[in-house]
Amino acid sequence: MTIHLLRLAVGADSLQSMRDWRRDHQIIWQGHKAVPTCTKRAPTRAAELLDGGCIYWVVKGFVQCRQRFIGFDMVRDVDGGDYCRMLMDPELVETVSMPKRPFQGWRYLKPEDAPADLAESQGGDVLPEHLLAELRALGLA
């Protein structure tokens, strides 16, 4: 059964900054391009996340995009501390904007509670990012 994660995109101020960061931080993991993000605790439901799950990113108070999970591994930092490296597909898929209050860490997200992909909800036509940002600022998207 598939489950998703919800996580704040700390430091991101737009979808473009998310795209830029992902482009600049790609690695090769087990022969595939991947984008890592780290967390102290490994998800206990990793098998469900790998069964089609995605990480839904909260950017500036709104869920705005997602990335599909491709793997997890445990890594040791230079100070000897262990952390979980979550590896995602480099493709960033925009979603219908959904307001979300700040929280710490990450949260599981049921598939039925996840926002739809933006292209699907608009019949394939996607508004330019600057227009979407203005609509979000006005509380209309």
The tens digit of pLDDT for each residue in 82-125 reads: 999 999 999 999 999 899 988 888 999 999 999 999 876 655 55
pLDDT at 141 over 80: no
Q: Cα 100–127–14 angle (5° rounding)?
A: 45
How far is it, in rounded angstroms, from Cα 14 to Cα 74?
A: 29
* Average pLDDT of the residues of the chain: 89
**Residue 131: predicted pLDDT:** 74
pTM, two decimals, is 0.83
Where are the chain's structural domains?
A: 4-137
How far is it, in rounded angstroms, from Cα 40 to Cα 89?
A: 20
Element (H, E) at 107: strand 106-109
**Residue 28 backbone phi and psi in degrees, to 5:** -105, 120
